[in-house]
Amino acid sequence: MTLKPLLAPLVLLCTVCAVSAQTTSAGTAPTYPQKPIRMIVPFTPGGSTDILARSIGQELTKAWGQSVIIENIAGAGGSIGADKVAKSAADGYTLLMGHIGTLAVNPSLYPKLPYNPVKDFSPVAWVARVPNVLVVNPNVPAKTVPELVALAKSKPGQLSYGSGGNGSAANLATEYFKMQTETAILHIPYRGTAPAVTDLMGGQIQMLFTGAPAVIGQIKNGQLRALAVSSPKRIEALPDVPTVAEAGYKNFEADQWYGVVAPAGTPREIVLKLNQQINVALNSADMKRRLNTEGAIGTPETPEAFGKLIVQEIERWRPVISSGRVKAD
């Protein structure tokens, strides 16, 4: 009796098992995602972080056929939402749309920050750089930065500015502006950018220095007046608005930046798959057009480049915060 008829099924079974094991050990990226992805925005809806998260989420949904659900979890300068992601399963199904505040400012701002932006996250993709725009209520008589500075100096402490909260990017940018212009302007913190924009249009506050996506529409329809942008160069969405440096304050730069991170330990294959697809979206003509319209600049880079940015920015803003001009809630 030959053993070949008995061995053939056994060989086939072993081959199938070997292929299955190889597929599993090779990583989950080829089959990821198999269910909806949750992207947490650590601020209220309507701000720059929320706008960019929804744009990226739409592109991932179109590419993969799985929904990207945006969840807004605001509070503590973005720390509550960021901490939730840091403590989530490292399986690629919970992501954070982080930004300069949550990933670079909060470590110096909050002595007992519940997460470490370097150790507790895997950088995925640097999404965009967003110049801040200095806007005022149309009833404010100043039409240029020098006029605003002169007005603030003539009424020390009587003008007020809003932000998305203590330690937010808008808070940092404006405090940096105050340092450069030697002005005293009262800070009114809000729980997110959107309510600050609403109060600015209503005249409850006089100025706001925040990301272009959150105010570009109001500028174009005349509800707000733009005086300057924080970037080294003018932005395509507002070509007639000068930079702060052009207005007379040299070397002023205070742009915001945004990027996606996942919990530390997320499989490398998933990180790379997310990075590749997000970069495809950022390089598309449609996304470039949308970002330009919103006043944002796409930054398709590697996960390593984004991780390097986070480390550099933590060190950059530490002295500004330690000077005592920026306080946590």
Calculate the average pLDDT of the chain. 89
Whole-angstrom Cα distance, residue 47 to residue 194? Answer: 6
In Å, what is the CA distance from 188 to each residue of 23, 210, 239, 244?
Answer: 55, 13, 29, 22
Contact 79, 69 (CB under 8 A): no
Where do the structural domains in the chain lie, given as residue ranges?
A: 36-130+256-325, 132-229
pLDDT of the residue at 164: 84
Topology classification of domain 36-130+256-325: D-Maltodextrin-Binding Protein; domain 2 (3.40.190)
Q: What is the DSSP letter of 243?
A: B
What pLDDT digit, counting tens, does each position of 223-232 carry? 999 999 999 8
| pTM to 2 decimal places | 0.75
36-130+256-325 shares its CATH topology with 132-229: yes
Whole-angstrom Cα distance, residue 63 to residue 95? Answer: 17
Peptide bond before residue 117 is cis, with ω within 30 degrees of 0 = no
**Pairing verdict, β 94-99 and 37-41:** parallel
- Flag whether pLDDT at 282 surpasses 80: yes
What pLDDT digit, counting tens, does each position of 127-185 carry? 999 899 999 999 999 999 999 999 999 999 999 999 988 877 788 899 889 988 999 99
Superfamily the domain 132-229 falls into: Periplasmic binding protein-like II (3.40.190.10)
